[in-house]
Amino acid sequence: MFEQVIEAMVDAVLVLDISGRITLANTAASHITGYSLDEMRQLPIARLMVDESSGLRTVVRRRIEDGDVLRREESWLITKAGERIPVSVTGSPVHGKTGTLEGIVIVARDVRDIRKLLVDKEAEIAARTSAEDELRAAKSSIEEQLEQTRTQLLLAERRATLGTLAGGVGHELRNIAQIQVAAVDEIATAIAAGDDLRALLESVLPDLERVGEHITQHGHRLMQLARPGPDRVAPIDLNLVVRDVVAMLKGAGKLRRLQLAIDLSAEPLQVTVNRTRIEQILVNLIVNAVDAIGEAPGRISITVQPIADGKRVVCEVTDTGPGIPPDQLDKIFEPFYTTKPPESGTGLGLPVAREIVQSYGGNLVVSSELGRGTRFTFDLPR
């Protein structure tokens, strides 16, 4: 019965006497080791099992003598051909009727398949880990490149903005120079005609003074663009700015042949801004209106009013020009969009004006009707 049981087992079973010789083995043991059943009989277990640094056999013996059962110790079986086969060993004592130790039963399970599975799994894990590492490295290099591209884009955008702003300054200098040229012309004509210069100079000098201020401030602005610092702002009544700009443009002969309606608010409307920059916006809007009306008769209205809640000031510049086609209403705020000939328009007036208003926390918007006219509205916090 005992023999039949061990014969039926798929694991190698070896029964040893207390001297360590094999007294019984099953076919599975014979298969694994390559020894015949006969050859195995009386074979010392030392020939069959490796006992290297772990001293397994001694441990087996000692523990089994102590009555322990040995479970799943890793060891090696040596085949007849000398091959080492990894096994997981379980051992238990065989006791005689009187309770003395008569032998040991060893069950050795061939773990090559499991080992191979483990090795394969380890290789798979290693491959996966290295793939993950590669992926991570690739990802971080892509992220680095993205970051670099982003920085370059930001830089390019900043350069473009600086270019736009510098262009805006040039644009304003050109506008303002026209005022100076007109004033100088007027004086030269008066001198040539032998007119009384006193009255003329009295009216023209303040304009020239403002022109000088503009040129100085815009020179400053260019320097600021090269090395940005805060814009100097101060509280100022928007009514006064509008009045002065209109006077300046009149002086420059920009508003001849036009009806002009200026509707200022009765109360002072203080805004904290850089005066020159607000003048720049107004000059741009009014010159645009004049250009739009062209040679035809027309009217420009400018209003300055507090908004209902009193916290903001709104300025409107309205003309009776030809209006702007609906599909171009967005485009006019893009830098360099112009419908004017190259020598007279750069397309920077509106984008720069909007930039300025937005920098103060307001906005510049347009509404227009073809054939009827156009209105630009901007607001500033009080």
Binding mask 150-189 for ligand ATP (x = CB under 6 A): ---------------------x------------------
* SS3 of residue 56 by DSSP: helix
CA-CA distances (angstroms) from residue 233 to 14, 193, 226, 352? 101, 43, 19, 18
Q: Which two tokens stand for residue 277?
A: 């920059």
Q: Reading across the β-sheet that carries 258-263, which strands appear in turn?
A: 258-263, 298-306, 312-319, 373-381, 364-369
* SS3 of residue 382 by DSSP: coil
Instruction: From 2-10, 193-201, 221-229, 281-289, give the range in contact with Mg ion by CB under 5 A.
Output: 281-289
Q: Which is nearer to ligand ATP, 25 or 290 (CB)?
A: 290
Q: Is 319 in the site for ligand ATP (CB under 6 A)?
A: yes
Q: Is 289 in the site for ligand ATP (CB under 6 A)?
A: yes
Q: Which is nearer to Mg ion, 32 or 282 (CB)?
A: 282
Burial of 331 (0-12, 13-18, 19+ CB in 10 A): middle
Partner from Mg ion, ligand ATP, none binding residue 305, C-beta < 5-8 Å depending on class? none
Dihedral sign from CA coordinates of 349, 354, 359, 362: positive
Partner from Mg ion, ligand ATP, none binding residue 151, C-beta < 5-8 Å depending on class? none
Q: Which residue is nearest to Mg ion (CB)?
A: 349
Q: Which is nearer to ligand ATP, 57 or 171 (CB)?
A: 171
Chain positions 359 to 378 lying near ligand ATP, rule: CB under 6 A, are 374
Partner from ligand ATP, Mg ion, none binding residue 43, C-beta < 5-8 Å depending on class? none
Q: Which is nearer to ligand ATP, 61 or 171 (CB)?
A: 171
Closest listed residue to residue 297, CA positions, set 340, 254, 259, 246: 259
Burial 58-84, CB ≥16 within 10 A → b, else e: eebbeebeeeeebeebebbbbeeeeee
Euclidean distance between CA atoms 203 and 212, whole angstroms:
15
For the bound state, the minimum distance from the C-beta of residue 165 to Mg ion, rounded and expressed in Å, comes to 15
Partner from ligand ATP, Mg ion, none binding residue 77, C-beta < 5-8 Å depending on class? none
Q: Which is nearer to Mg ion, 189 or 344 (CB)?
A: 344
Full 3-state SS string of 104-127: EEEEEEECHHHHHHHHHHHHHHHH
Q: Which is nearer to Mg ion, 264 or 285 (CB)?
A: 285
Binding mask 325-354 for ligand ATP (x = CB under 6 A): -------x----xxxx----xxxxxx----
Q: Is 349 in the site for Mg ion (CB under 5 A)?
A: yes
Instruction: From 15-23, 60-68, 150-158, 286-294, give the range in contact with ligand ATP by CB under 6 A.
Output: 286-294
Euclidean distance between CA atoms 104 and 166, whole angstroms:
98
Q: What kind and span of H or E run contains 174?
A: helix 112-193
Does residue 9 contact residue 106 with C-beta atoms inside 8 Å? no
Q: Is 288 in the site for ligand ATP (CB under 6 A)?
A: yes
* SS3 of residue 76 by DSSP: strand
Q: Is 292 in the site for ligand ATP (CB under 6 A)?
A: yes
Closest listed residue to residue 256, CA positions, set 282, 293, 212, 227: 293
Q: Is 288 in the site for Mg ion (CB under 5 A)?
A: yes
Chain positions 238 to 267 lying near ligand ATP, rule: CB under 6 A, are none
Partner from ligand ATP, Mg ion, none binding residue 51, C-beta < 5-8 Å depending on class? none
- Contact footprint for ligand ATP (CB under 6 A): 171, 284, 288-289, 292, 319, 321, 324, 332, 337-340, 345-350, 374
